[in-house]
Structures are given as C-alpha cells and as structure tokens.
Chains A and B, each alone.
Chain A
C-alpha cells in the first residue's frame, strides 16, 4: 500500500487544493484575510466523523515472539500488516513482565529494518587489519563461505588441536547459546567465551560464597516493603528490566504499603532520582557500608534471630568482624556516608520487613567486587529475607527435553583436557566460569597456546570491554576470524569472513529471562516476516557447519531437529504442545514455593553461610594460602589504576537505558532519547560535580579531555549537582566507529580509557577503578 501525499489529494468536491495553492491564494487576496474567509464555511475538518464508506478489511496479524535487545528477553507481540512489521508491544500472557516492555523493545522495528544490515556473506580482501583500515569486503556465496570454514575446522581437527578454535558468544538467544555450547563440546574446545565476565560474575560469586549457588539472585518485588540498592541501576541497566519497571509502579502505588527505595551510588542516576533517598558514596566502598549496616543491626539486636540461629552458619565470626571493625564512625570516614545516616539506614532496613538489599554494577564491578556482593547478600540473611515473600528468591529453571550425550573421540578428549585460554578456574581466577577480558592478553602473548581460528556469534567485546584497544590488537592476531551477526559491528570489522545472521524477529528460537520472578517462564521466538537478504539464523549455520565437518561433530547434531525450528520443537516437546506454544508465545512454570530451606543451600553446612565453607574448600583445593578474612565478607580498599596525584578523579562509565545491547546502536529512536537525565540524545557528556569543574576552570558545555593512564578522549563537560565531587560519569554505548549511519561518529566510548583489571576471584572485569584527570580541550 503506497500512501498518498496528504496535501495534494483531491477534495471530494473535485477542487484541487493544497497548501501551496492556499498560500498563493492568500498572497493574491491579501495577507490580512483569514483562512475562513478564503475557504468559506463549506470545508469540513478532516478529523470530523467519517462519511460511511466501505473500508477494505486490513490483513493484520499479531505474532507472539520475544525480544532480545537486552538480555531480559521479554515476551512481545508484533503487529504485521501488508507484510511489514509495524508495531511491537508486550505479550500480556507473560508473567515476568506482565505484558509490559521497556522502550528498547519498541526499537526492534528499527533493528529489523536497519539499513546498515549485511545482506550477503562478506570476505575480507585487504590482509591488513585494524581500526580504520578498510577491510575491502567482497561478497561471496554461502557455499563458498561455509566450505572455507569447514575446511579450516577439519584441518585443525586433523592436527588434533581442536582447542585452538576459539568461540565468542555475545547476546544470543538461549537456543543459539545451547547449540553454540554443544558445538564447542562436540568439536572439543574448552574455549567458549561469553560476555558474562563483563557484567555480572561478581554478584554470582558473592551469592556462591553465601548460599553455594553460583548465579544471579531473584527478588520478590511484589511483596517487599524496602529496597536498599547498592549501585544497582534498577531502572536503567538491571535485569530483567521490563519487570523491574513494571514492579516499580506496583511497589509505589499498587500495594497497601508504599515500598521505600534507597539508592547508594556516587552518581545521581535515574533510579536515584525516582527513589526516596539518594546516598552518594565514595566509589568502591560499598562493602564497608554493608558491613557497617550489619554492625548497627547486630549491635542493636535488630536482626532476625530465628532465621539466623536456625538456617545460617558462621554468624559468630561475622558478628565479631562487623562489631570490631565496622563502626558507623569508622565507616563514615571510608564511605563518605554520614554515621547518623548509616544508623538510620540500618534501622530502616532491619525495621521494615520484608526488605531487600540489591547489589549492582557501581557497587560490585570492582577488584573487590565478589566480597562486596557477599557482604550485600549477608544483609539479606541478617534480616531473614531469604526465600520468603518480599525477600531474595531462587529462580526456577525450565525443564527442557534433555540433549543426548556426545560420543567423544580421542581428539575431543585431548582438546578438552587443555587449559582454557581465559585461565578460568586457575590460581589467577580460582572461582571464574569465564574471564572475558583475559582473552586479548592470552591471544597477544600466545599463552597458554596460540589459536588458529575464532568464530564470533553476535559478540562485540571490543566495544564493551575495559581496555578495548587490546581487543582491537588481539583480534588482528587471530589467523582466521569468522563473525556471525546481522551488523558490521566493531568486532565484525576484524573478521576475515562475515556471515549475515537474521535478527531475532526473523528466526525460530526459545528464550527465558534472567532471574527475576522466581517461577520459570519460557518464551518462543518465531519469524514475524520472511528473512531479509541472504541472512541465515545462527542455529541453521551451526547445524550446517557441524554436518559438513563430519565425524563426532556431525553426530552430535543428529536427531536434534535439523534446523532452528526443529530444535525448538525438540527441546520444548516435554513442556507443551507446539500449537499452543506458537499461539501463546509463552510457557509458564508452577507458582513459586517459599521457604524450601531444606533443599536450598549448596554449602558444606547446608545453611546460609556468613563464613564461607565453599570458599575455604576452594582455597584448599587450589592450594591457595589465606587467612580467615578471605572466607568472610569484608571491605578491602579498591585498587585504582593511575596515581591520585596525577589523576585525581574516578571514571564512572554507566549504562543508560537506551543502549541496545545487540552490538549496534544504529537506531534513531534509541539515540534521540539517549540521556533522559540531561534531556538530550545523540551524545555523551563528561558529567562532573559543579564545584569540582569550576575549581578546574572548566566551562559548562565546553569541550574537555578526559585522560587516564591508558589514553584520552574528548567530550563536552556537563556540570551536575548529582555527581560525587571526585567522580566523572560518562555514558557507555556511543563511540561506535564501524558501519551504521545513526551510530558512527556519535560521542565517545569511555571504555577507550579504562584500564584492565579484574575481580581476582570471579574474573569479572573492573569497570570503575580508572583514575582520570579532566582539562580543557
């Protein structure tokens, strides 16, 4: 349906009249004459009731599917008319988000119809690699591309070195993740690297120390009366976001007790602006505050003694540590939070039950992050908010039809016995499941071994990781790099071969949300329109590569449905009928069951542990020497990168809501509403405390250099009353330099100047410990 031009339309009366005619007419008849006089009273207003007339019924479909513009993976429905997707909204059957979605989901239309998408496999013809070097892409056929990949995969296997294949997984559907993991396993490489260690591993490690479960916590927000958010940007980058946005409304006004929300963060975030109390804190000192709260709660006997005595272990050691070392007066000196405020916060938190303490990025993305997360988890146990209504709850998993075992051959066994490139589970990162940012270091050093080939699935680590320049350099060192994604992201720019993947609106997949609701919920993805260009879904590519590679690799993918749709059917057959799943788009598990303490804790004592037996066992197994303090939540001063004398400020790269996390930012809707707290889009500021900026002689709105030991970037400075005096906040998500009209050349990426550092237990990257100086540009 081509739409007509609104102004050159013939009136029903046959008079051709448009705006230009009107202006000419007005000029002739004199500007003073009003329009009514010129046109006469006979003109009808075009929004008046429509004269009766046959309107052709629309071909309209609503298709239930799910979003993946961020890892929350919300259930959505898409309106398709005339073969085009024209509207996205929430699927009301979803109980995770209650039918609501965040604005990122609406941007999906611009993701699908992005002009910057790749439409055919592309091969690099310029051997030189690097930022700003034109790869001179040449289109090749799928057959040619896949044959080359398979030839190389077979050659590596023939040399019996399957561990020299490196796989990167960015933001993928759960079904793609399952297939990628299976491919790694069947091929025989331990080197499957996700982006998890750029986000949330410290929180998982903290939970593991406390309750033995290495995973994110879920929160029963329906019933809680008090939230203490340590650095958690609940309304911007926490997950599952749509659920948090929905529940925020509920907590405030849809329950008898209005939930009080306290935000502890060096930055006056959007969340802080909407909360009841913003407590600015010295960067990286959240653990001290958490321990001081414990000090007050224990000293004043405000803790839940019934829960503590029955279901926790190690309380005496924790009690002694908190009482001896973390008095509000001492901690006030460390954190900058007033001692009276600490006492008030502790009394409110312990006195308002149920209450939850939530950890988030600004608190735990530090070198001491695991212990901070542990200290926050302990606060919840202290007030008995474990597996109770309104407390921390434990996410149920989805019981898929299981995947059959893989028949390993000698080559696979040999490959898998090699140490992983990212040094996970070694003495350097004893607790780590993955150490994303170790990869460039390992690649550059060729240790523990060099790689021969790498495949990236929707990954874009050289935009997301601190010290991103190392990634650019390391990716250039990979002998053959294949990138599979819908967009030429910065990471795709380093590829020797790009395979165009479908977006999530054109493919079959299943997905489930990160922990949030407690009960399990599975979501379907189904194509809403036919694939565009020569794109193929990732599962299809994996099936094909596996089949062509042959041997054990091919065997591992036999009987799994043969393609993306078949795989989803295979995995979900045990849950519900296919027809029902396609119609509803969601499957929901049983209601949540509280207080299942008997089978909850995976610790040596089978209780919640204030003194981590798991940690003690791990240290013993790895033969690491450590004192008792290593097994208790505690505060250790954060390690900063750069001297305070040369670099007096601390960089805080925060993530605003409108960062679409699929490797691209080429979406005008997301861009123009990018920084709501500043009221602008399309840019990024160096946000500084007004007094600090004035002392440095800066002018609001002027350009400055933000310089760290790693380099410097140029940005406009924005004076703010909502920033800790020693902090410079900058939004991430901008600074793209690869393809895309609406992203290239907009703003800068603060990750360009962050230094490389880790939480040494979990391998999670530290994001906030880079010192900087700011001066006029």
Chain B
C-alpha cells in the first residue's frame, strides 16, 4: 500500500496562488465574500500564508502554500467524536461529511489550520463540477459535488483523482497528480508515494534539505517543504 505525500519546493514556488484557485475549481470549494473574509469565515482547502520578518530594508517574506498536511499521527482523527475524520490505508486523511456533526474539535486540534468549517449552504454554480468522482455517482454523492452547511471540510489530496487513476492503471505522481500539483506553473510541487524509494518525492527528499511544519509536535506531516 502506498503512502501518499507531497513535496513543495519553496525555491521554485512563485507565490502566484494557482494552487489555491485550481483547488477551488477542482473540488467545488465555495468562494468567500468580503464579509466572510473579514470574519474569517471564508475557506480554502489549499491556501497561501505570508510570514514576514526583519526590518527595512532587510525584510523577508516567506510565502508558504499550505494544503492539509495529512499527518501520519493526525490530531484531528484522535479528537473526532463522530469518527467522521479518519486516515485511509494510503495515509490520506479524509472527512466523511455524512458523519461530521460540525463540533469543530478537529479544527481546534489541527496545528496547521488546514480545516475549515463550512457554515453556509453551498450554492451550485454553473461552473461547478457535477461529475466527481465519476464512479461514485451511482452509489452516493460523496463528497462532491454538493456539500452542506455545518460540516468541516479539508483538502483530500484529490483522492478521487488517485483512486480513479489507480483503477485505470496510471502512474500516480507523473500521469495523475492532485489538482494543485498539476496547476503549479513553476513545477514547485511533487506528489507521490513516500514509501517507494524510487518515487519522485523520495528521490527529491533524499537529495535536498527539507523541513516539515511544526515538526516538534510529532504529527508526522506528509507535506515536506524544500527551503530556498
């Protein structure tokens, strides 16, 4: 069983936020509004944060794109009273909207702010994808295209793409990647199997310095960053 992970090269990242927008388009993540942003109710499955340090003119702003870290020891899974969030065998942390009771424990527990509470009934837009994931249509509307208010949402590493790709016998990490990886114009993101020493992610991590966010918490995130 593979263990999916992502590597984000901050040296290549151009801070354009193509990942952010592509994720919204891929996963039907609702857009916000000025009011929602003011009240911090708008949400992103993948966002970019800016961390600035230093004094003029020796200033430094790090722009860090953040999907869900898909921790191997995920605090959100531990705290969920409804077993709505869980770790798949391939390491992807998933939120089952049908079980989620919207208690937000997981939001508090997540050290990365990767989880969002969806407080609004989702409008269907003309550009919303009504086809995802193709096979699940016959079985039930998980988790796309429509979600409802009162659940916690998060990045899924676009597992619908991975599952579909595996079924079609495609190579995950080259032929099939999450939407943010595909969208990145500078090629800053790599996706693949962390347990496969020959995968792109493993090779890259072996050849370069890398760090995880909040390593000290021992959540073992599967998103690695390569510094400049």
Which residues in A have some Cβ–Cβ distance to B below 8 Å? 1, 3-7, 9, 12, 17-19, 22-23, 26, 34-36, 39, 43, 45-47, 49-51, 53-56, 58, 60, 81-82, 84-90, 97, 100-103, 106-107, 109-110, 112-113, 235, 242, 245-246, 248-250, 252-254, 268, 270, 273-274, 278, 280, 657-658, 668-669, 671-673, 676-683, 689-691, 720-723, 725, 742, 746
User: B24 to chain A: which residues have CB within 8 Å?
Assistant: 669
Q: Are A6 and B130 also in contact (CB < 8 A) when A26-B101, A676-B63, A677-B61 are?
A: no
- Excluding A5-B148, A85-B127, 16 further A-B contacts by CB distance (< 8 Å) are A3-B146, A34-B81, A49-B163, A86-B127, A86-B130, A87-B129, A89-B183, A235-B15, A248-B186, A253-B11, A270-B14, A273-B15, A274-B14, A720-B59, A721-B52, A722-B59
Residue among A6, A82, A86, A720 making CB contact with B98, cutoff 8 Å: A6
Contact B127 A245 (CB under 8 A): no
Give Cα distance in the complex from A6 to B122, angstroms: 11
- Which one of B34, B42, B81 has the greatest number of beta carbons of chain A within 10 Å? B34
The answer to whether A106 and B21 touch across the interface, beta carbons within 8 angstroms, is yes
> Is B11 a contact partner of A682 (Cβ separation < 8 A)?
no
- Given contacts A106-B18, A679-B50, A273 and B61 within 8 Å (CB-CB): yes
B142 within 8 A of A: yes
What are the 9 A-B residue pairs with the smallest beta carbon separation, nearest first?
A: A249-B186, A668-B31, A35-B82, A109-B127, A46-B142, A100-B185, A245-B185, A721-B59, A249-B12
Asked if B137 lies at the interface with its beta carbon under 8 angstroms from chain A, I say yes
CB contacts (< 8 Å) of B11 on chain A: these are 252-253
Contact A103 B142 (CB under 8 A): no
Give A752 Cβ to nearest chain B Cβ, in Å.
20
Is there an interface contact between A690 and B56, defined as CB atoms closer than 8 Å? Answer: yes
Cross-chain contact B131 with A82 (CB below 8 angstroms) = yes
Closest chain B residue to A90 by CB distance?
B185
Chain B residues whose CB sits within 8 angstroms of the CB of A274 once the complex forms: 13-15, 63
In whole angstroms, what is the CA distance A550 to B150 when docked?
63
- Stretch among B70-78, B83-91, B106-114, B217-225 lining the A interface: B83-91
| B26 interface residue (CB < 8 Å to A) | yes
Q: Which residues of A contact B97 (CB under 8 A)?
A: 6-7, 46
Q: Which residue of A lies closest to B26 (CB)?
A: A87
**Which residue among B9, B136, B147, B185 has the maximum number of chain A CB atoms within 10 Å of its CB?**
B185
- The B interface is mostly helix, strand or loop, or mixed, namely loop
Partner pick for A677 among B50, B140, B183, B186, CB 8 A cutoff: B50
A723 CB, min distance to chain B CBs, angstroms: 7
B18 and A672 contacting across the interface, CB-CB below 8 Å? no
Answer yes or no: B171 CB below 8 A from chain A CBs. no
- Would you call A672 and B99 a contact (CB within 8 A)? no
Would you call A722 and B52 a contact (CB within 8 A)? yes
Q: How large is the interface on B (under 10, 10 to 19, 20 to 34, 35 or more residues)?
A: 35 or more
Residues of B within 8 Å of A722, CB to CB, are 52, 56, 59, 61
Contact present for B42 and A672 (CB under 8 Å): yes
Query: Taking CB as reference atom, which chain B residue is nearest A84?
Result: B126
| Interface 0/1 of B12-40, CB less than 8 Å to A | 11111110111011100001111001000
Whether A45 and B49, one on each chain, are in contact in the complex, defined by CB atoms closer than 8 angstroms, is no
- State how many angstroms separate the Cβ of B148 from the closest Cβ of chain A: 5
B57 is an interface residue with CB less than 8 A from chain A: yes
Closest CB of chain B to A94's CB: distance in Å? Answer: 12
With A81-B130, A246-B186, A678-B50: A672-B61 Cβ-Cβ less than 8 Å: no
Contact B56 A35 (CB under 8 A): no
The one of B32, B98, B127, B140 that contacts A110, using a Cβ cutoff of 8 Å = B127
- Bound form: Cα–Cα A335–B41 in Å: 44
Check B94 for interface membership: any CB of A closer than 8 A. Answer: yes
Q: Are A268's CB and B15's CB within 8 A?
A: no
Q: Can you pick out 30 interface pairs between chain A and chain B where the beta carbons lie within 8 Å of each other?
A: A6-B97, A12-B139, A17-B98, A23-B101, A35-B83, A46-B140, A46-B143, A47-B143, A50-B135, A54-B138, A56-B137, A82-B130, A82-B131, A84-B127, A84-B130, A106-B25, A245-B14, A245-B16, A245-B18, A249-B186, A252-B12, A270-B14, A657-B16, A657-B17, A671-B34, A672-B32, A676-B50, A677-B63, A721-B55, A721-B56
* B residues near A742, Cβ cutoff 8 Å: 33
Asked whether B20 lies within 8 Å of A673 as measured between CB atoms, the reply is: yes
**Are A673 and B98 in touch, CB under 8 angstroms?**
no
Kindly identify which residue among B16, B129, B142, B187 contacts A6, using a CB–CB cutoff of 8 Å. B142
Residues on the B chain within 8 Å of A248, using CB: 12, 14, 186
- B101–A668 touching, CB < 8 Å: no
Assess whether B117 is interfacial by the CB under 8 Å rule: no
Q: Given A22-B101, A280-B57, A676-B50, A1–B130 Cβ distance below 8 Å?
A: yes
B90 CB to nearest chain A CB (Å): 11
Closest residue of chain B to A58 (Cβ to Cβ) is: B131
A37 to chain B, nearest CB (A): 10
The reply to whether B139 and A109 contact each other, CB–CB distance below 8 Å, is no
| Shortest Cβ gap from A706 to chain B (Å) | 20
Residues of the B chain whose Cβ atoms lie less than 8 Å from the Cβ of A86: 25, 127-131
CB contacts (< 8 Å) of B138 on chain A: these are 53-56
Mark contacts of B176-211 with chain A using CB atoms, 8 A cut-off: 1 yes-contact digit, 0 otherwise.
000000111111100000000000000000000000
Contacts of B57 in A (CB 8 A): 278, 280, 721
| A residues in contact with B187, CB < 8 Å | 100, 246, 249-250, 254
B165 close to chain A: CB less than 8 A: no
C-alpha gap A680/B50 in the complex (Å) = 10
The one of A23, A47, A102, A672 that contacts B96, using a Cβ cutoff of 8 Å:
A47
Residue of A4, A9, A110, A252 ringed by the most chain B CB atoms within 10 A = A252
Q: Which residue of B lies closest to A236 (CB)?
A: B16
| Structural contact, A113 and B12, CB atoms closer than 8 A | no
A45 to B95, CA, bound (A): 9
Q: Which of B83, B150, B159 contacts A47 (CB 8 A)?
A: B159
Chain A: which residue is nearest B22 at the CB level? A106
Chain B neighbourhood of A250, CB < 8 A? 186-187
When distances are taken between beta carbons in the complex, the residues of chain B under 8 Å from A725 are: 56
Q: Give the docked Cα–Cα distance between A658 and B16 (Å).
A: 9
CB contacts (< 8 Å) of A22 on chain B: these are 99, 101
Given contacts A35-B101, A89-B182, A270-B63, contact A47 B142 (CB under 8 A): yes
Chain A residue at smallest Cβ distance from B182: A89
Give Cα A690 to B52, complex, Å.
13
B142 cross-chain contacts in A, Cβ below 8 A: 6, 46-47
Q: Does B119 contact A (CB under 8 A)?
A: no
Whether the Cβ atoms of B25 and A109 lie closer than 8 Å is yes
CB distance from B170 to the nearest CB of A (A): 16
Alpha-carbon distance between A273 and B53 when the two chains are bound, in angstroms:
11
Question: For A673, what are the chain B residues with a Cβ–Cβ distance below 8 Å?
Answer: 17, 20-21, 48
Q: Shortest distance in angstroms between B20's beta carbon and chain A's nearest beta carbon? A: 5
Query: How far apart are B5's CB and chain A's nearest CB, in angstroms?
Result: 18
Determine the residue in chain A with the shortest Cβ distance to B56. Answer: A721
Contacts of A18 in B (CB 8 A): 98
Q: Could you tell me the distance between the alpha carbons of A121 and B143 in the complex, rounded to whole angstroms?
A: 42
Nearest Cβ on chain A to B14's Cβ, whole angstroms = 5
Which residues of chain B have C-beta atoms less than 8 A from A39's C-beta?
99
Selected from A35, A88, A245, A681, the residue in CB contact (under 8 A) with B37 is A681
- The answer to whether B18 and A103 have CB atoms under 8 Å apart is yes
Residue B169 CB within 8 A of the other chain: no
Contact B101 A50 (CB under 8 A): no
- Determine the chain B residues whose CB is within 8 A of the CB of A720 once the complex forms: 59
Contact A6–B141 (Cβ < 8 Å): yes
With both chains docked as a complex, state the minimum distance between the C-beta of A324 and any C-beta of chain B, in angstroms.
Answer: 30
User: Of B18, B83, B94, B131, which one neighbours A81 at CB under 8 angstroms?
Assistant: B131
Q: Which residues of B contact A280 (CB under 8 A)?
A: 56-57
Residue of A nearest to B84 (CB): A35
B125 to chain A: closest residue by CB:
A113
B2 at the interface (CB under 8 A from A): no
Distance between A331 CB and nearest chain B CB, rounded to angstroms: 17
Q: In the complex, what distance in Å separates the CA atom of A681 from the CA atom of B47?
A: 12
> Which interface residue of B31, B100, B151, B159 has the most chain A CB atoms within 10 A?
B31
Assembled-state Cα–Cα distance A252/B11 (Å): 7
Residues of B within 8 A of A676 (CB): 15, 17, 48, 50, 63
Task: Determine the residue in chain B with the shortest Cβ distance to A111.
Answer: B127
